[in-house]
């Protein structure tokens, strides 16, 4: 089992024929993802990477019965692409694009909620369900199959964490990069709820970072309702205040959103919080050894 | 992106948000003429730097005659202003803003900022004008009035009423406030601001609202559609190495330690800083070489890190996904041939093509290179090397 995407997911790629879209769509195909087509306005009717290209998401959905979309559209048009997918009621929309204006995302997210579709990202590496489907840009080989769910605000740190989990003798069910922007489609809580329902996932690794209060909300949720063990790491313990650390969302405003504050809240909720990013694998081993 | 007070006020003026009359001055000889042109018999002389706390640091003075205007302008221009936001190095004042006095009845606070939890802009007001709003929020939270604005409805009259009643304004004042607040929201929306702050917002004796101070930050992601705002960028206010890095799509933040870091990905870059600290070292910088790292970007990364004389070792921490490790290895090779790297280089390359990369580096026999097998190993070796305790 897995969450969000699996081997039966029918995926379309928006921004299919662009450089990024082509490269990563091919990588996803090689992984075994069922990509059923793509969307590039104005290129409808062509065949790209052996799959049909459509002008609109509506058309793509009608012809392919797609239920997942992977978006590589440039930042100035990306929110529009998200809303187009939402309008067609694509169930899971994964937006990889970095650099989307916050005000655009504010509207796009609202619309996704209204349409009752799930948005992952933007500014994220996507979703991978081990041995089933990769809907994103992560290196597939790192994510060996196992029992651990992974939710992360970061890209490469997700790969690092997955690698540690695998080296510790465990594997991954599904790993989701939720993105590093101030406004993202799905939160830790949203995805913890899905992992709670997934029998195969025995524990969850959560990688947060400075900025916002999503991790604090996760702590509250874990304390009250989530019964599987959780390991957490919060990146940016040493980040200076008021400086944007790469991700648009990774910024400490005033005294809010510090790593310390989040680590404390998670610890209080019973989460195993690692100080060092190199101890994620070890911590998983420890909690999995518990009776 | 941040702008100066006078630039924020120019934007306000374009939208019709009331501001006092003012002039920007960068040469002290211009002070007298500017004061006369503004008119009146009282002026504020304000240092223009991108930092709060200017008043306390002596960067804002009230002049009661032309002689005082000249004196204060000459004092503040060129001064090194050290506030709680500038750090110990402070900032050299290159421009002062001369502003006409206002007959103040009451001072308020008014701001708009994105609330990440609500995912909406919130407008915040308080009767405690002129105070640091974070402190008011801490000590007298009841004195803060907040409303969230749904992007679908925009700013409505009921929003304004809620704030105005909270401030205990009279009916006439309410009308003025409502106009002021809705115009300010328009500025926030149309310029893609991420923060607007007016502290203090002044109610004049004539019952008009006027922005005595102004601060606007803009959403960097939206600058592509605001060429007029990009023009307001003041490069003097930014760290030169950070500007240089941006040109090459590198995300760099200078810090005070001695272990230089070169990493792919923002999260991994932040946690690399964390792990260096965990092993009792101090990171010299945050550097994300991004997802398209090439020989050129790696070389540029070295160049930028090595401009910092504090750097005693460089930790290259790459988890190859899309970025292939062999490409990074070739980048390191090329960079070390071009630029002399005199400090120890601790290299950890994991993920895609890491074995090929290790081979490339071993064959090249770069001096000063230390290999690390994983994140913890690399961080420890880097910290030790920076302390000069390497074998």
Of all residues in chain B, the one with the smallest CA distance to A139 is: B321
A210-254 tens-digit pLDDT: 999 999 999 999 999 999 999 999 999 999 888 888 887 888 776
B6 included as an active-site residue: no
A213 and B270 within 8 Å at the Cβ level: the answer is no
A102 and B283 within 8 Å at the Cβ level: the answer is no
- For residues A54-68, give the mean pLDDT: 98
CA distance A252 to chain B (A): 12
A163 and B219 within 8 Å at the Cβ level: the answer is no
Of all residues in chain A, the one with the smallest CA distance to B273 is: A238
Pick the CATH number of B21-101 from 3.30.380.10, 3.40.50.300, 3.30.1490.20, 3.20.20.80: 3.30.1490.20
In CATH terms, the superfamily for domain B1-19+103-238 is: ATP-grasp fold, B domain (3.30.470.20)
Q: Which of B6, B97, B109, B252 is catalytic?
A: B109
Q: For residues A187 and B373, what is the distance between their CA atoms, to the nearest angstrom?
A: 33
Q: In the structure, how many helices (H) and strands (E) does chain B have?
A: 13, 18
B277 and A237 within 8 Å at the Cβ level: the answer is yes
Least reliable range by pLDDT among A131-135, A189-193, B347-351: B347-351
User: How big is chain B, counted in residues?
Assistant: 391
Considering the domain B240-386, what is its CATH architecture?
Answer: 3-Layer(aba) Sandwich (3.40)
Ranges of chain B whose pLDDT falls below 50: 390-391
| Partner residue opposite B274 with nearest CB, options A100, A248, A277 | A277
Q: Does B351 touch chain A (CB under 8 A)?
A: yes
Contacts of A159 in chain B (CB under 8 A): 319, 321, 351
| Partner residue opposite B321 with nearest CB, options A139, A152, A276 | A139
Helix (H, G, I), strand (E, B) or coil at B349: strand
Q: For residues B23 and A241, what is the distance between their CA atoms, to the nearest angstrom?
A: 32
Of all residues in chain A, the one with the smallest CA distance to B279 is: A276
A106 and B275 within 8 Å at the Cβ level: the answer is no
Q: Looking at residue B89, what DSSP letter applies?
A: T
Contacts of B321 in chain A (CB under 8 A): 125, 137-139, 142, 155-156, 159
Q: What is the pTM of this model?
A: 0.93
B18-36 tens-digit pLDDT: 999 999 999 999 999 999 9
Q: What is the pLDDT of residue B388?
A: 83
Q: For residues B96 and B61, what is the distance between their CA atoms, to the nearest angstrom?
A: 11
Tell me if the bond preceding B217 is cis, omega within 30° of 0.
no
- For residues A123-131, give the mean pLDDT: 96
In chain A, which among 207-266 make CB contacts under 8 A with chain B? 207, 209-213, 217, 233, 235-240, 242-250, 254-255, 259
Show me where the domains of chain B are located.
Answer: 1-19+103-238, 21-101, 240-386
Q: Does A187 touch chain B (CB under 8 A)?
A: no
Q: Does A1 touch chain B (CB under 8 A)?
A: no
Residue ranges of domains in chain A, CATH in brackets: 11-120 (3.40.50.720), 138-288 (3.40.50.261)
Contacts of A180 in chain B (CB under 8 A): 266-267
CB B119 within 8 A of CB A109: yes
DSSP string, B107-175: EEEEEEEEETTTTEEEEEEES-TTS-HHHHHHH-GGGEEEEE--TTT-S-HHHHHHHHHHTT--HHHHH
Q: For residues B148 and B154, what is the distance between their CA atoms, to the nearest angstrom?
A: 10
Q: What is the pLDDT of residue B389?
A: 59
- For residues A75-93, give the mean pLDDT: 98
Helices (H), chain B: 5-15, 31-38, 66-76, 133-139, 157-166, 171-190, 227-230, 240-247, 266-278, 295-306, 325-338, 354-364, 375-386
B72-81 tens-digit pLDDT: 999 999 999 9
Higher pLDDT pick, A11 / B359: A11
Q: Looking at residue A253, what DSSP letter applies?
A: B
Contacts of A211 in chain B (CB under 8 A): 116
A99 and B189 within 8 Å at the Cβ level: the answer is no
Helices (H), chain A: 19-31, 57-64, 75-87, 102-114, 156-167, 188-197, 214-225, 259-268, 280-289
A139 and B352 within 8 Å at the Cβ level: the answer is yes
A248 and B267 within 8 Å at the Cβ level: the answer is no
Q: Does A158 touch chain B (CB under 8 A)?
A: yes
Higher pLDDT pick, B241 / A110: A110
In chain B, which among 245-274 make CB contacts under 8 A with chain A? 251, 253, 255, 263-274
CB A175 within 8 A of CB A215: no
B263 and A277 within 8 Å at the Cβ level: the answer is no
The answer to whether B21-101 and B240-386 have equal CATH topology is: no
């Amino acid at each position: 089992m897995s969450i969000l995407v699996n081997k039966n997911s029918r995926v379309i790629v928006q921004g299919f024929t662009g450089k990024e879209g082509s490269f990563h769509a091919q990588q996803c195909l090689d992984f075994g993802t069922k990509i059923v087509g793509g969307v590039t306005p104005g290129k409808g009717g062509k065949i790209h990477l052996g799959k049909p290209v459509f002008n609109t998401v509506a058309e793509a959905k009608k012809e392919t019965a797609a239920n997942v979309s992977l978006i590589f559209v440039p930042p100035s048009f990306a929110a529009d692409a998200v809303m187009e997918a939402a309008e067609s009621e694509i169930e899971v929309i994964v937006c990889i694009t970095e650099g989307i204006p916050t005000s655009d995302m504010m509207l796009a997210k609202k619309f996704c909620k209204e349409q009752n579709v799930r948005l992952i990202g933007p500014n994220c590496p996507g979703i991978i369900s081990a041995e089933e489907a990769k809907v994103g840009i992560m290196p597939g080989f790192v994510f060996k199959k196992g029992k651990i769910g992974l939710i992360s605000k970061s890209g490469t740190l997700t790969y690092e964490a997955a690698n540690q989990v695998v080296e510790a003798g465990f594997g991954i069910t599904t790993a989701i990069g939720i993105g590093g922007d101030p406004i993202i489609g799905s939160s830790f809580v949203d995805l913890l709820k899905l992992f709670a329902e997934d029998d195969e996932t025995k524990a969850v690794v959560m990688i947060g970072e400075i900025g916002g209060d999503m991790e604090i909300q996760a702590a509250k949720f874990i304390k009250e309702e989530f019964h599987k063990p959780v390991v957490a790491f919060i990146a940016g313990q040493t980040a200076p205040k008021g400086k944007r650390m790469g991700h648009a969302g990774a910024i400490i405003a005033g005294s809010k959103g510090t790593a310390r504050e989040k680590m404390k809240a998670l610890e209080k909720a019973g989460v195993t919080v690692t100080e060092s990013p190199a101890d994620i694998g070890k911590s998983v081993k420890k909690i999995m050894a518990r009776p | 992106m941040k702008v100066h007070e006078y630039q924020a006020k120019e934007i306000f003026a374009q939208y019709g948000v009331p501001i006092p009359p003012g002039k920007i001055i960068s040469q002290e000889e211009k002070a007298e003429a500017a004061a006369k042109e503004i008119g009146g018999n009282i002026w504020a002389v304000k240092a223009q730097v991108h930092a709060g706390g200017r008043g306390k640091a002596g960067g804002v003075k009230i002049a009661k005659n032309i002689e005082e205007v000249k004196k204060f302008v000459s004092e503040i221009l060129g001064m090194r202003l050290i506030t709680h936001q500038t750090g110990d190095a402070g900032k050299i004042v290159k421009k002062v803003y001369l502003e006409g006095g206002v007959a103040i009845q009451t001072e308020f606070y008014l701001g708009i900022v994105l609330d990440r939890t609500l995912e909406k802009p919130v407008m915040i007001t308080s009767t405690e004008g002129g105070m640091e709003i974070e402190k008011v929020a801490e000590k007298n939270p009841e004195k803060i009035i907040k409303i969230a604005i749904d992007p679908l409805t925009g700013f409505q009259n009921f929003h304004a009423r809620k704030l105005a009643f909270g401030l205990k304004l009279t009916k006439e004042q309410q009308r003025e406030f409502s106009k002021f607040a809705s115009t300010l929201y328009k500025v926030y929306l149309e310029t893609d601001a991420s923060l607007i702050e007016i502290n203090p917002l002044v109610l004049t004796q004539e019952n008009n609202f006027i922005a005595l101070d102004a601060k606007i930050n803009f959403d960097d992601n939206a600058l592509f559609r605001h060429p007029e705002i990009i023009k307001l960028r003041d490069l003097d206010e930014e760290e030169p190495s950070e500007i240089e890095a941006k040109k090459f799509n590198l995300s760099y933040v200078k810090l005070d330690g001695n272990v230089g870091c070169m990493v792919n990905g923002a999260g991994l870059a932040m946690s690399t800083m964390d792990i260096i600290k965990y092993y009792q070292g101090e990171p010299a910088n945050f550097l994300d070489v991004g997802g398209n790292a090439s020989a050129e970007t790696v070389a540029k990364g070295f160049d930028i890190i090595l401009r910092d004389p504090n750097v005693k070792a460089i930790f290259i921490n790459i988890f190859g996904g899309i970025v292939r490790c062999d490409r990074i290895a070739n980048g390191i090779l090329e960079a070390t041939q071009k630029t002399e790297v005199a400090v120890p280089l601790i290299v950890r390359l994991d993920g895609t093509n890491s074995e090929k990369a290790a081979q490339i580096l071993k064959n090249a026999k770069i001096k000063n290179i230390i290999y690390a097998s994983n994140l913890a190993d690399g961080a420890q070796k880097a910290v030790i090397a920076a302390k000069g305790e390497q074998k």
